[in-house]
C-alpha cells in the first residue's frame, strides 16, 4: 500500500461521505417539493378548484326583446327592428387606439364618436362590449367581417332597435327610449348590456319595467382572453310585455292632420277615462333619440317657440274661460245659493264697489236663469253666482272634476295645473278680493288648466263618475283596472243638478241662440252637448274697448285662446272631448267646429256599439332571443 | 503516454460491443420514460395534438438519444484530456452570444446555429463540470487544502457565472455557481471555506440587489407576495398555483385541464409544463413524475459512488446536480416556492436547447459509468 494509494483512499472516503450528503440533501429538497404539491393539491385543493371555476366560467346576459306598444286596434306603435352593430371588447385587443384607427379606414368614425368609445371603454369593465357603431348597412357589415383579422376586439352582432312607425304622431304619448344614464342604473344587470335602451318619456318610461323584461343568462366557458369556448348553461330571460294603449293611431293621425300649431285636442271615452286620441302640434320624431340626438337638432327643438318637445295636452296651461261655468253652476246649486229657476238680470255689466265687470254681450242678456245663462254664456249671471258661493267652494268643486289636481295619466311629467283659492293667494302675500272671486266665476284669472283636465272634467260631467284619464288597456294581455265604467266611483253630485247642466250644454249646441250651434252633429249621430270658452291672454282696457277695439286687428300672439269642451251622444255619453286653440280668438268659431269634426270622425272610425268601444286584442309576438355567437 | 497505453490494454473490454454492453440500459429506459411523460404533457399542451409541440419533442429526443449514446462510448480519458478545450469553447460561445446573440425577454441568451437556437449558458454548465472534475482529479487532500490551488477553479466558475449574469440571466448564473459549489464540496474543499463564502455572500447580496434589473427585482418582490400584483408579474404564479391546486388528488383527467387548455396558464408548454401535468393527473401524477426525476438524479450519484476514479466521481456528481437544479428550481417555481426564473424542465418541457445539453451531460455521465474502472492518470502527472 503506497502513500499514493492511501491518499486515494482518503480522498475517496471524503468524497463518499460528501456525495451521500449532497445526494441526501437533494432528495430532501425533492421531498419538500412533494410536500408542497400535497399542500397545494390536497390541503388547499378545494379553494383552488373554486378559483379555477371562477376563471373558466363567465355568465353573460341575454337581452330580451323589449315589449311592443300597440294601439287599441293592435297596430304596432313602438316595435323592434333588427340592428346590425359593431362592438368592441377592450380585453380582446392590445391597443384600442390602433384598432379604432384601422376601423376608421373601413367605416369613418368622427372624433366625437372615437372620444365616446374611448370614454366608455374606460368606464366599463374590460370584457363588457362597447358599441362602436349602430345601424350598419349590409355593405359596412361585410367590410368589417372581411377585415376581421386586422380588427382584434371588433365584432359585429345583431341587436334590436326601437322603431316608432307613426313617428311624430304619437311621440307625446309613447315617448321615446335612450341609452341608460348613470342615474338609470337601478341594479338591473340588463342595463349594463351594450345597446340597451330605457324609456325616457311617455309610456316607454312609465311602463319601462314591464316593457323591459328580465335578462336571461348563459353560462359560458371562456379562455384567458375571454373568448367563448362553449355554452354550458342557458336560462332564457323574460320577454318584455306588450302594452296595449287605448288610443287609436289612425284617429290620432287624422286629428293631427286637422289641427294647427298650438292646438290641442283630447278625445276620451267618457265612461272609463280611456284616451282615444290626444293630439297636439307641433311634435317631434321619437326615432331620432334612438341613435342619439345631435346638438343641432336639440338646439332646434329647444329654441323653437312652439315647443315641439312639450305635450301641450298634458303640460300646456290655460285659463278655462267659460268652459268652467258648469263647475260654478254646480257649486252654486250644491251650496244652495242659487236655484235653477232663479233669474239674474244682466244689463251687460256688473258693478262691484267702484269696479265694473262686463258681460261679453255688451247689450246684456236681460233676465236669465241657469240654463239660459249657460246656453248664452252670460258672464253677469256667473259673476253673481260666484259672488254668492265664494272661491273656496268653487275650487273644491273644480277639484272634484279633476281640475287642478294630479291625474292618474301614465305620462310622467304631466302637470296638475292650478285652481286658485284664497289660501293660495294669501300664501303669495296678496289679499283675495271679492273682485277676484267674480272674475274667477267666468273661468278667468289665475287658473292654469291643461286640455287633458278639461276633457276629464267633461267626462265627469257626462257620467257623474270620477273617471281618471288613462292610456293603458292591457299589459302582457291582462286588462288593467278602469276599463269598465263601474270601476270609477260616483262624484256624489245629485243627478238632478247634473242633468240640468247637461241639458244646458245640449242647448249650447242645439238650440237657437246657443254659442255653438255651428257645431251641431249630423242628426244620425245623435246630439252633442258642449260649452265654448274664450280666454283673454291680454287685458283689454276700457279705453281700447271704447275706441271700438277689434280683436282680429290684434297681433296673433295677443288674441284670445279658443276653447271648447263637449260630450256625445247626449243620451248615454260615449265621447268627451276638449279642444284648445291657442290664439284661436273665439271658442264658437275656432274650437267648436274642430270638436265637431273630431267627434264625427270618432263615430265613424270607432263605431261605438252597446257594449262600448271596440278594440282588438293583439296577437302574441314574434322573434326569439338572438343566440350568442361564440 | 506509454504508461497509459499499457493501462488501456489491461482494461476490461475496450471494443465497441463490449462498451455497448456496459451502457446502463435501465437508465436509458428511465430517460425514455421521462421523455414519454414530456410527450404526453406536450400532446395535451398542443390541445390534444402532436402538433406543434409533442411531435417535435419526440424527434428531438431521438436525435439526443443517438448523440447521448455516442458520447457514452467516448473514452473517459479523452474527455478528461479535452476538458479545458471544451471549457474554452463554452466561454467562447458566451462571448459570441454577448456580441451577436438574439435578444429575448430583455436578455441576450440565444444564438442561432442553423435551424436550432443554442443557449450557450446551458452548455457552459456541462463544460464547467468537466473542467472542474479534471482539475480536482488526483488532487491530494493537502493540495485541496491549499488556498492557492483553489484560485484557478474559482476563477473558472466566476468567469462564466459573471458573463451569464450580464446577459442578464440571474437564475442560470446562480445555478452555475451552485454547480461549481457542489463539485468543490464533493472534491473535499474544507467546510470552513464554504462558511466563509456564505458569510461573504450575506454581506454582498444587498449590494447586488441594488444593481438588479427592475424585472428581476419584481420577480423577487412578487415571489414574496404574488397576490399584490395579480394582473402583472404575480399572474403567472397565481394561475400556476390555481392549476395545481384545482388538479386535486386524482387530477382533472388527460386533456381536461381547464387552466391549461383555456390559456390561463402562461407558457404551459415550457416553464409551466409540470403544472399542466399536475393539473390533469393530480397529486398522483405529480408525485409519480417527481419520483421518476428523483431516480434519474439518484442514478447520477450511483455512478459517482461506483466510479473508481475521482474524475468520474466528480463528473457524475456535478452532472447529477445540474439536472437536480433544473428539476428543483422549475418545480419550486411553479409551486410558488421560489421566484419565477424561466428555468425549463428538460426532457419534459418544449424547447431543444436545454434538452440537447442535458442529454450531452447524460452522455458524459454514461461514459463515466461505462469507463468507471478505467485507470486514469492525472492530467498533471505527479510522477
Q: Judged by CB atoms within 8 Å, which residues 202-221 of A form the interface with B? A: 221
Residue A69 included in any domain: yes
Confidence band for B341, pLDDT divided at 50, 70 and 90: low
A220, A253: one domain: no
Of A10, A23, A44, nearest to B298 by CB-CB distance is: A23
Across the interface, whether the CB atoms of B317 and A22 are under 8 A apart is answered yes
Residue A154 scores a pLDDT above 90: no
Higher model confidence: residue B216 or residue B176? B176
Tens-place pLDDT, residues A493-533: 999 999 999 999 999 999 988 888 888 998 888 899 999 99
Residue B347: predicted pLDDT: 94
B300 to chain A: closest CA residue: A23
Across the interface, whether the CB atoms of A41 and B327 are under 8 A apart is answered no
Residue A95 scores a pLDDT above 70: yes
Query: Does A51 contact chain B (CB < 8 Å)?
Result: yes
**CA of B96 vs chain A CAs: smallest distance (Å):** 34
Residue A544: predicted pLDDT: 65
Residue A37: predicted pLDDT: 94
A426, A536: one domain: yes
Residue B9 scores a pLDDT above 50: no
Residue A495: predicted pLDDT: 92
Q: What is the DSSP string of A95-163?
A: -HHHHHHHHHHHS---HHHHHHHHHHHHHS-TTS-EEEE-S--HHHHHHHHHTGGG-TTEEEEEEEEEE
CA distances from residue B378 to A48, B151, B311 in whole angstroms, order as listed: 57, 19, 9
Look-up: residue for cell 454547480? B179
Owning domain of residue A208: 59-245
Tens-place pLDDT, residues A37-78: 999 999 998 899 888 888 888 777 777 888 999 998 889 999
Tens-place pLDDT, residues A274-300: 999 999 989 999 988 876 788 888 888
Share of chain B above pLDDT 90, in %: 52
A222, A254: one domain: no
Residue A383 included in any domain: yes
Instruction: Identify the CATH number of the domain in which residue A93 sits.
Output: 3.90.1310.10
Residue B6: predicted pLDDT: 46
Residue B114 scores a pLDDT above 60: no
Short-list B254, B258, B225, CA closest to B243: B258
Query: Does B317 contact chain A (CB < 8 Å)?
Result: yes
Q: How much is the average pLDDT of A355-361?
A: 90
Across the interface, whether the CB atoms of A45 and B185 are under 8 A apart is answered no
C-beta separation of A460 from A268 below 8 A: no
Higher model confidence: residue B269 or residue B131? B131
A270, A193: one domain: no
Q: Tell me the pLDDT of chain B averaged across its residues.
A: 85
Tens-place pLDDT, residues A241-255: 999 999 999 999 999
* ipTM confidence score: 0.91
Among A318-327, B7-16, B46-55, which is the least confidently predicted range? B7-16
Phi, psi of A441 (to 5 degrees): -65, -20
Query: Does B293 contact chain A (CB < 8 Å)?
Result: yes
Q: Judged by CB atoms within 8 Å, which residues 3-32 of A form the interface with B? A: 4, 7-8, 10-12, 14-16, 18-20, 22-23, 26-27, 29-30, 32
Encode A573-592: b = buried (16+ Cβ within 10 Å), e = exposed. Answer: bbbbbbbbbbbbbbbbbbbb
Among A233-237, A328-332, A402-406, which is the least confidently predicted range? A233-237
Of A16, A37, A222, nearest to B286 by CB-CB distance is: A37
Look-up: residue for cell 394582473? B231
- Helical H runs in chain B? 2-10, 16-22, 25-45, 54-73, 76-81, 83-100, 120-136, 141-145, 147-166, 170-187, 191-210, 214-224, 235-247, 258-261, 273-306, 310-334, 352-370
A241, A256: one domain: no
Of B186, B264, B287, nearest to A224 by CB-CB distance is: B264
A321, A468: one domain: yes
B259 to chain A: closest CA residue: A52
Residue A620 included in any domain: no
Residue A149: predicted pLDDT: 80
**Chain B interface test: which of A45, A52, A126 (most B C-beta within 10 Å):** A52
A203, A161: one domain: yes
Across the interface, whether the CB atoms of B293 and A30 are under 8 A apart is answered yes
Residue A34 included in any domain: no
Query: Does an H or E element contain A228, and which?
Result: strand A228-235
A72, A131: one domain: yes
Residue A629 scores a pLDDT above 50: no
Residue A45 included in any domain: no
d(CA B333, CA A29) in angstroms, rounded, equals 13
Tens-place pLDDT, residues A582-601: 988 888 888 999 999 999 99
Residue A561 included in any domain: yes
Residue A620: predicted pLDDT: 46
Residue A471 buriedness (CB in 10 A; 0-12 / 13-18 / 19+): buried
Tens-place pLDDT, residues B51-78: 889 999 999 999 999 999 999 999 999 9
- Helical H runs in A215-317? 249-258, 287-290, 295-303, 312-315
Q: Judged by CB atoms within 8 Å, which residues 234-263 of B form the interface with A? A: 239, 241-249, 258-259, 261-263
Residue B379 scores a pLDDT above 70: no
A93, A228: one domain: yes
d(CA A343, CA A362) in angstroms, rounded, equals 19
Look-up: residue for cell 408525485? B287
A146, A256: one domain: no
Residue B381: predicted pLDDT: 43
A16 to chain B: closest CA residue: B305
Taking residue B205's Cβ as centre, other Cβ atoms within 10 Å add up to: 10
A406, A376: one domain: yes
Query: Does B335 contact chain A (CB < 8 Å)?
Result: yes
Confidence band for A152, pLDDT divided at 50, 70 and 90: confident
Share of chain A above pLDDT 90, in %: 46
A10 to chain B: closest CA residue: B141
Residue A628 scores a pLDDT above 80: no
How many angstroms from the chain centroid is the CA of residue A536? 31
Across the interface, whether the CB atoms of B262 and A23 are under 8 A apart is answered no
B181, three cell numbers: 459549489
Instruction: Identify the CATH number of the domain in which residue A432 sits.
Output: 3.40.710.10
Residue B234 scores a pLDDT above 70: no
Residue A519 included in any domain: yes
Cis peptide before A282 (omega within 30 of 0): yes
d(CA A502, CA A329) in angstroms, rounded, equals 11
Confidence band for A621, pLDDT divided at 50, 70 and 90: very low
A183, A117: one domain: yes
Q: Tell me the pLDDT of chain A averaged across its residues.
A: 86
Q: What is the DSSP string of A285-304?
A: -THHHHT---HHHHHHHHH-
C-beta separation of B128 from B90 below 8 A: yes
What is the count of structural domains for chain A? 2
Of A37, A51, A222, nearest to B242 by CB-CB distance is: A51
Dihedral class, residue B221 (left if φ above 0, else alpha if ψ from -120 to 50, else beta) = alpha
Confidence band for A611, pLDDT divided at 50, 70 and 90: low
d(CA A338, CA A389) in angstroms, rounded, equals 9
Across the interface, whether the CB atoms of B245 and A229 are under 8 A apart is answered no
Query: Does B188 contact chain A (CB < 8 Å)?
Result: yes
Q: How much is the average pLDDT of A7-15?
A: 86
Higher model confidence: residue A445 or residue B340? A445
Residue B224: predicted pLDDT: 57
d(CA B127, CA B356) in angstroms, rounded, equals 14
Confidence band for A625, pLDDT divided at 50, 70 and 90: very low
Q: Where are the domains of chain B?
A: 2-370
A15 to chain B: closest CA residue: B186
Among A136-140, A422-426, A480-484, which is the least confidently predicted range? A480-484
Amino acid at each position: 500500500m503506497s502513500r499514493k494509494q492511501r491518499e486515494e483512499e482518503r480522498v475517496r472516503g471524503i468524497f463518499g461521505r460528501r456525495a451521500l450528503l449532497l445526494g441526501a440533501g437533494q432528495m430532501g429538497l425533492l421531498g419538500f417539493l412533494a410536500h408542497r404539491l400535497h399542500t397545494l393539491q390536497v390541503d388547499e385543493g378545494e379553494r383552488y378548484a373554486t378559483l379555477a371555476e371562477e376563471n373558466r366560467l363567465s355568465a353573460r346576459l341575454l337581452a330580451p326583446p323589449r315589449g311592443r306598444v300597440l294601439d287599441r286596434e293592435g297596430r304596432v306603435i313602438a316595435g323592434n327592428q333588427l340592428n346590425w352593430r359593431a362592438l368592441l371588447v377592450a380585453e380582446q385587443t392590445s391597443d384600442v387606439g390602433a384598432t379604432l384607427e384601422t376601423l376608421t379606414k373601413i367605416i369613418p368614425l368622427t372624433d366625437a364618436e372615437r372620444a365616446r368609445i374611448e370614454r366608455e371603454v374606460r368606464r366599463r369593465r374590460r370584457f363588457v362590449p362597447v358599441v362602436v357603431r349602430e345601424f350598419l348597412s349590409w355593405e359596412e357589415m361585410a367590410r368589417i367581417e372581411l377585415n376581421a383579422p386586422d380588427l382584434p376586439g371588433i365584432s359585429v352582432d345583431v341587436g334590436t332597435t326601437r322603431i316608432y312607425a307613426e313617428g311624430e304622431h304619437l311621440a307625446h304619448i309613447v315617448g321615446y327610449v335612450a341609452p341608460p344614464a348613470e342615474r338609470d342604473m337601478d341594479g338591473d344587470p340588463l342595463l349594463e348590456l351594450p345597446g340597451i335602451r330605457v324609456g325616457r318619456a311617455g309610456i316607454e318610461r312609465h311602463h319601462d319595467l314591464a316593457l323591459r323584461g328580465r335578462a336571461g343568462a348563459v353560462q359560458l366557458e371562456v379562455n384567458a382572453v375571454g373568448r367563448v369556448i362553449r355554452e354550458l348553461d342557458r336560462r332564457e330571460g323574460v320577454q318584455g310585455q306588450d302594452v296595449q294603449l287605448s288610443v287609436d293611431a289612425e284617429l290620432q293621425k287624422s286629428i293631427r292632420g286637422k289641427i294647427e300649431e298650438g292646438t290641442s285636442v283630447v278625445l276620451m271615452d267618457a265612461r272609463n277615462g280611456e284616451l282615444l286620441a290626444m293630439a297636439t302640434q307641433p311634435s317631434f320624431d321619437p326615432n331620432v333619440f334612438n341613435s342619439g340626438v345631435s346638438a343641432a337638432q336639440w338646439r332646434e327643438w329647444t329654441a323653437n317657440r312652439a315647443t315641439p318637445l312639450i305635450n301641450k295636452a298634458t303640460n300646456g296651461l290655460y285659463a278655462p274661460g267659460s268652459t268652467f261655468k258648469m263647475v260654478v253652476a254646480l257649486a252654486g246649486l250644491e251650496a244652495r245659493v242659487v236655484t235653477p229657476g232663479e233669474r239674474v238680470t244682466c244689463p251687460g255689466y256688473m258693478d262691484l264697489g267702484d269696479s265694473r265687470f262686463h258681460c261679453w254681450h255688451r247689450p246684456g242678456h236681460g233676465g236669465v236663469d241657469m240654463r239660459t245663462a249657460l246656453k248664452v254664456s252670460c258672464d253677469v249671471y256667473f259673476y253673481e253666482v260666484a259672488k254668492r258661493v265664494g272661491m273656496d267652494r268653487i275650487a273644491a268643486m273644480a277639484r272634484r272634476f279633476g281640475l287642478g289636481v294630479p291625474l292618474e295619466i301614465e305620462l310622467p311629467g304631466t302637470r296638475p295645473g292650478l285652481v286658485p283659492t284664497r289660501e293660495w293667494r294669501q300664501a303669495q302675500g296678496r289679499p283675495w278680493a271679492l273682485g277676484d272671486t267674480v272674475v274667477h266665476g267666468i273661468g278667468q284669472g289665475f287658473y292654469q288648466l291643461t286640455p287633458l283636465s278639461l276633457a276629464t272634467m267633461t267626462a265627469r260631467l257626462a257620467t257623474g263618475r270620477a273617471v281618471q284619464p288613462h292610456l293603458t288597456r292591457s299589459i302582457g294581455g291582462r286588462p288593467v283596472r278602469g276599463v269598465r265604467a263601474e270601476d270609477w266611483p260616483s262624484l256624489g253630485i245629485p243627478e238632478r243638478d247634473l242633468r240640468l247642466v247637461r241639458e244646458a250644454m245640449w242647448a249650447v249646441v242645439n238650440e237657437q241662440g246657443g254659442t255653438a250651434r255651428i257645431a251641431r252633429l249630423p242628426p244620425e249621430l245623435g246630439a252633442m252637448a258642449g260649452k265654448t270658452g274664450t280666454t283673454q291672454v291680454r287685458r283689454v282696457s276700457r279705453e281700447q274697448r271704447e275706441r271700438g277695439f277689434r280683436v282680429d286687428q290684434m297681433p296673433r300672439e295677443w288674441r284670445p285662446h279658443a276653447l271648447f269642451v263637449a260630450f256625445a251622444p247626449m243620451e248615454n255619453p260615449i265621447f268627451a272631448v276638449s279642444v284648445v286653440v291657442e290664439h284661436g280668438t273665439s271658442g264658437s268659431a275656432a274650437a267648436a267646429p274642430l270638436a265637431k269634426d273630431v267627434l264625427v270622425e270618432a263615430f265613424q272610425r270607432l263605431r261605438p256599439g252597446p257594449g262600448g268601444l271596440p278594440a282588438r286584442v293583439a296577437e302574441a309576438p314574434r322573434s326569439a332571443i338572438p343566440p350568442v355567437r361564440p | 503516454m506509454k504508461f497509459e497505453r499499457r493501462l488501456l490494454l489491461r482494461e476490461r473490454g475496450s471494443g465497441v460491443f463490449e462498451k455497448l454492453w456496459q451502457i446502463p440500459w435501465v437508465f436509458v429506459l428511465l430517460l425514455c420514460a421521462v421523455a414519454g411523460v414530456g410527450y404526453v404533457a406536450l400532446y395535451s399542451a398542443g390541445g390534444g395534438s402532436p402538433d406543434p409541440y409533442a411531435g417535435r419533442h419526440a424527434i428531438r429526443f431521438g436525435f439526443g438519444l443517438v448523440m447521448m449514446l455516442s458520447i457514452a462510448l467516448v473514452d473517459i480519458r479523452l474527455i478528461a484530456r479535452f476538458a479545458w478545450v471544451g471549457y474554452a469553447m463554452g466561454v467562447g460561445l458566451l462571448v459570441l452570444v454577448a456580441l451577436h446573440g438574439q435578444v429575448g425577454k430583455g436578455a441576450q441568451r440565444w444564438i442561432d446555429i442553423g435551424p436550432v437556437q443554442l443557449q450557450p449558458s446551458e452548455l457552459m454548465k456541462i463544460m464547467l463540470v468537466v473542467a472542474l472534475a479534471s482539475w480536482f482529479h488526483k488532487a491530494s487532500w493537502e493540495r485541496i487544502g491549499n488556498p492557492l490551488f483553489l484560485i484557478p477553479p474559482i476563477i473558472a466558475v466566476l468567469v462564466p457565472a459573471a458573463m451569464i449574469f450580464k446577459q442578464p440571466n440571474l437564475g442560470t448564473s446562480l445555478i452555475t455557481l451552485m454547480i461549481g459549489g457542489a463539485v468543490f464540496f464533493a472534491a473535499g474543499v474544507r467546510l470552513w471555506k464554504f462558511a466563509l463564502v456564505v458569510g461573504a455572500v450575506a454581506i454582498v447580496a444587498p449590494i447586488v440587489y441594488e444593481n438588479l434589473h427592475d424585472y428581476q427585482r419584481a420577480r423577487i418582490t412578487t415571489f414574496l407576495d404574488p397576490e399584490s400584483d395579480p394582473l402583472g408579474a404575480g399572474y403567472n404564479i397565481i394561475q400556476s398555483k390555481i392549476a395545481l391546486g384545482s388538479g386535486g388528488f386524482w387530477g382533472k383527467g388527460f386533456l381536461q385541464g381547464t387552466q391549461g387548455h383555456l390559456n390561463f396558464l402562461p407558457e404551459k408548454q415550457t416553464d409551466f409544463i409540470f403544472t399542466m401535468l399536475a393539473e390533469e393527473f393530480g397529486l398522483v401524477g405529480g408525485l409519480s413524475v417527481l419520483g421518476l426525476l428523483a431516480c434519474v438524479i439518484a442514478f447520477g450519484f450511483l455512478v459517482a459512488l461506483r466510479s473508481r476514479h475521482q474524475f468520474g466521481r466528480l463528473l457524475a456528481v456535478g452532472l447529477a446536480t445540474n439536472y437536480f437544479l433544473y428539476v428543483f428550481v422549475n418545480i419550486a417555481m411553479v409551486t410558488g416556492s421560489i421566484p419565477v426564473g424561466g428555468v425549463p424542465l428538460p426532457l419534459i418541457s418544449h424547447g431543444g436547447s436545454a434538452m440537447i445539453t442535458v442529454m450531452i451531460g447524460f452522455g458524459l455521465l454514461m461514459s463515466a459509468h461505462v469507463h468507471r474502472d478505467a485507470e486514469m492518470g492525472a492530467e498533471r502527472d505527479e510522477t
